[in-house]
């Protein structure tokens, strides 16, 4: 009777074991497949050499970088959302790990939608830091699962700033030194 019970038990175990194996395998597969996704949000009006550097450095830390082109209610953009998305997409067209999207809602909702675990930002100056600190702490309170990651800009990019680039462009100046080498800004200029 006891033996019979054992047999019955071992048959039951055999039936269960593949499921346990499957669960373990599934968990491992899920672990292996879990990508590190970072959102790099900004106005990118226009996308500069400083922005490009942050994205490329981000690729060394993350599996995917999603450049989130945001709408800023406080600023009337010089380049349309379509032009900003197009200039960044064209620039990174050969890099499948970079995605570019326009969004109009909260950055944390954009992160949630894209299943991003990280929010990437660049820091040039102490005033950048003070601004970013407040934004990151508010974001952290609203969505603690998303970690803000800051990268110090390279010294040669510290002075590069989209506002200044826009001003020079408005007066027909040459901004090529401040933009990624492959970005032909004239293609995206407002008509």
Catalytic pick among 43, 51, 121, 157: 51
Strand 64-70 with 98-103, pairing: parallel
Q: Where are the beta strands (DSSP E) in the chain?
A: 37-42, 64-70, 98-103, 118-123, 147-152
To the query of whether residue 75 is one of the catalytic residues in this protein, the response is yes
97, 124, 148, 166: which is the annotated catalytic residue?
A: 124
CB nearer to ligand ADP: pick between 10 and 80 = 80
Which of 6, 17, 75, 115 is the catalytic position? 75
Give CA–CA dist 86/92, Å, rounded: 10
Min. distance of Cβ 137 from ligand ADP in angstroms? 15
Is 51 a known active-site residue?
A: yes
The two three-digit tokens of residue 64, written as one number: 């995917």
Nearest distance, CB of residue 36 and ligand ADP, angstroms: 19
Give catalytic status of residue 162 as yes or no.
Answer: yes
Compute the least distance from the CB of residue 48 to ligand ADP, in Å. 6
Nearer to ligand ADP, 90 or 132 (CB): 132
Task: Give yes or no for a contact between 150 and 137, defined as CB atoms under 8 angstroms apart.
Answer: no
Q: Which residue has the tokens 């800009």?
A: 153
Interatomic CA distance for residues 187 and 126, integer angstroms:
34
Helices (H), 62-176: 81-91, 107-113, 126-142, 162-170
When the beta carbons of 64 and 70 are compared against ligand ADP, the nearer one is 70
**What are the residues binding ligand ADP (CB under 6 A)?**
42-44, 48, 50-51, 54, 72, 121-122, 124, 128, 153, 157, 160-162
Q: How far apart are CA 8 and CA 181, in angstroms?
A: 72
| Closest to ligand ADP by CB, 26 or 134 | 134
> C-beta of 154: minimal distance to ligand ADP in Å?
7
DSSP secondary-structure letter at 67? E
Residues with a known catalytic role: 51, 75, 124, 162
């Amino acid at each position: 009777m006891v033996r019979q019970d054992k047999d019955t038990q071992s048959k039951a175990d055999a039936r269960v074991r593949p499921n346990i194996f499957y669960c373990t395998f599934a968990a491992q597969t899920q672990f292996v497949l879990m990508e590190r996704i970072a959102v790099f949000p900004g106005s990118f009006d226009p996308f500069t050499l400083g922005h490009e550097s942050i994205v490329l450095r981000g690729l060394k830390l993350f599996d995917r970088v999603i450049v989130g082109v945001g709408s800023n209610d406080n600023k009337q953009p010089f380049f349309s959302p379509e032009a900003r998305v197009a200039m960044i997409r064209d620039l990174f067209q050969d890099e499948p790990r970079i995605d570019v999207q326009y969004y109009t809602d909260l950055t944390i909702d954009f992160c949630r939608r894209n299943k991003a675990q990280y929010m990437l930002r660049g820091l040039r100056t102490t005033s950048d830091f003070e601004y970013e600190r407040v934004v990151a702490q508010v974001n952290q309170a609203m969505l603690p699962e998303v970690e803000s990651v800051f990268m110090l800009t390279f010294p040669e990019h510290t002075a590069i700033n989209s506002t200044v680039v826009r001003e020079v462009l408005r007066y027909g100046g040459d901004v090529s030194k401040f933009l990624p080498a492959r970005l032909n800004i004239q293609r995206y200029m407002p008509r």
